[in-house]
């Protein structure tokens, strides 16, 4: 099976870096910015209230589930309006969000392993998030980045996976998708006809009713080792 692989698609959040610290830093840095530039917003929407407002905005606009950046921008604008402040401040606040969103602390195995993997096969990023690979500084290791925002629907929508395969000029069965989430990454890729590699970062339990991935690893180093070994794919729970 491995000999037919022509490319790899790779999830980003919680695959190359943990997202939770990024989310916490975004919230604290934005709140500090509001304290300095829109005190009424900071007072009306402390971190917990801002988080609740964002959840309400997401529920209000389910058709925008594929565009997390826009939902963040709408949340900021709503907070400013409801606080009686100038919504024009949203652009500056969003710039703070974008900067912090793209300050990532990679898993220790990520960068060296990604370089090894990309030396073997073309790698494309496939993400529901809004990380910018160029801003992060690793754009050169990817053939391209395909986001849910660009495609118009989030994983596990099979169309997103198939679009990536088309751009890679490869049949789905010749592409290995690597990600941390069994339901979002593995199930969606499998339904699209792709091979699957679950990187088990300890964040998700494998659903009992879901067929196993073709490969399970706990680090990207193990995936790079597997690629270099020439070992076949095996179904693993």
| pLDDT value of residue 229 | 87
With a cut of 50, say whether residue 236 has pLDDT above it: no
**0.85 exceeded by the pTM?**
yes
Regarding the domain delimited by 20-101, which CATH topology (the fold level of the hierarchy) does it fall under?
1.20.120
Report yes or no: 199 and 179 within 8 Å, Cβ to Cβ.
Answer: yes
Q: Say what angle helices 47-60 and 20-37 make with each other, to 10 degrees.
A: 110
What mean pLDDT value characterizes the chain? Answer: 94
Q: How many other β-carbons are positioned within 10 Å of the β-carbon of residue 110?
A: 18
Q: What is d(CA 23, CA 32) in angstroms, rounded to the nearest whole number?
A: 14
With 0-12 / 13-18 / 19 or more C-beta atoms within 10 angstroms meaning exposed / middle / buried, residue 96 is: middle
Of how many residues is the chain composed? 237
Whether 11 is catalytic is yes
CATH of 2-17+105-229, one of 3.30.70.100, 3.40.50.1220, 3.40.50.1000, 1.10.510.10: 3.40.50.1000
Whether the pLDDT of residue 125 is over 60: the answer is: yes
* In the chain, where the domains are located: 2-17+105-229, 20-101
- Mean pLDDT computed over 158-173: 97
The predicted model gives 48-67 an average pLDDT of 96
Query: What is the per-residue pLDDT across 70-90, written as a single tens digit (0 to 9) for each?
Result: 999 999 999 999 999 999 999
What six digits make up the tokens of 195? 């091979």
Q: Which of 11, 14, 85, 109 is catalytic?
A: 11
The yes-or-no answer to whether 2-17+105-229 and 20-101 have a common fold is no
Q: What number is the average pLDDT over the span 29-56?
A: 97
H-only helix segments in 38-140: 39-44, 47-60, 68-82, 90-101, 110-120, 133-136
Q: What are phi and psi of 5, to 5 degrees?
A: -65, 130
> Quick one: pLDDT at residue 4?
79
Tokens of 143: 């053939």
Dump strand ranges (E) for 128-234. 144-147, 175-179, 195-199, 215-217
């Amino acid at each position: 099976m491995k000999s037919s692989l022509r490319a790899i698609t790779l999830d980003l959040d919680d695959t190359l870096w943990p997202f939770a610290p990024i989310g916490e830093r975004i919230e604290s840095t934005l709140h500090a910015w509001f304290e300095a530039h829109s005190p009424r917003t900071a007072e009306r929407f402390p971190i917990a209230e801002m988080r609740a407002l964002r959840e309400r905005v997401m529920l209000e606009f389910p058709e925008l589930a594929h565009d997390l950046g826009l939902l963040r921008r709408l949340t900021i604008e709503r907070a400013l309006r409801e606080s009686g402040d100038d919504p024009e401040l949203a652009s500056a606040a969003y710039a703070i969000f974008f900067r912090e969103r793209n300050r990532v602390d990679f898993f220790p195995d990520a960068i060296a392993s990604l370089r090894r993997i990309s030396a073997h096969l073309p790698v494309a990023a496939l993400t529901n998030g809004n990380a910018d690979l160029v801003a992060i500084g690793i754009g050169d290791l990817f053939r391209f980045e395909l986001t849910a925002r660009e495609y118009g629907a989030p994983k596990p929508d099979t169309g997103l996976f198939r679009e990536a395969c088309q751009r890679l000029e490869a049949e789905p069965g010749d592409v290995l998708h690597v990600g941390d989430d069994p339901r979002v990454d593995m199930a969606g890729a499998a339904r699209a006809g792709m091979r699957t590699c679950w990187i088990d970062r300890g964040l998700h339990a494998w659903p009992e009713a879901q067929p196993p991935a073709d490969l399970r690893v706990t680090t990207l180093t193990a995936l790079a080792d597997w690629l270099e070994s020439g070992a076949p794919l095996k179904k693993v729970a």
